Amino acid sequence: MERTKVVFNNEKLHYSCELMRALAHPLRLKILKFIDSHDIINVNQIYQTLRIEQSVTSQHLKIMKMAGIVNAEKEGKFVNYSINYGLIDKANAAVNKFLRK
């Protein structure tokens, strides 16, 4: 078997790890599904409907926002969240491509 040189772009590798970490948590997936069913929704509606503590909800949303999974727009005293579907599609395609090999 021929050996190939292992070379990674550290910045892209780090971001990929953060993205997958953000997507791999069951509660974050639950929050994403909830946002998906409403298109745009504020944090109060998320934690009240899903019965999650506000601080826990905010922490999970912060992780997803930092990974680029969700968009956040401040409207008055509320922050509305929506899904970055382009990024979700790319992540899904990358995972599926990896698993096919």
* 80-84 own/partner pairs: CB under 8 Å, 24+ apart: 80/40, 80/41, 80/42, 81/35, 81/40, 81/41, 81/42, 81/43, 81/46, 82/35, 82/39, 82/40, 82/41, 83/32, 83/35, 83/36
User: Residue 21: which of 61, 56, 64 has the closest Cα?
Assistant: 64
Distance CA 3, CA 101 (A): 18
Residue spans of the domains in the chain: they are 26-100
Report how far residue 28's alpha carbon sits from residue 34's, in angstroms, rounded to the nearest whole number.
10
Q: With beta carbons less than 8 A apart as the criterion, state whether 72 and 65 touch.
A: yes
Topology of domain 26-100, CATH: Arc Repressor Mutant, subunit A (1.10.10)
3-31 average pLDDT score: 90
Mean pLDDT of all residues in 26-46: 96
What are the tens digits of pLDDT across the range 46-100? 999 999 999 999 999 999 999 999 999 999 998 999 999 999 999 999 888 888 8
Structure tokens at 44: 């109060």
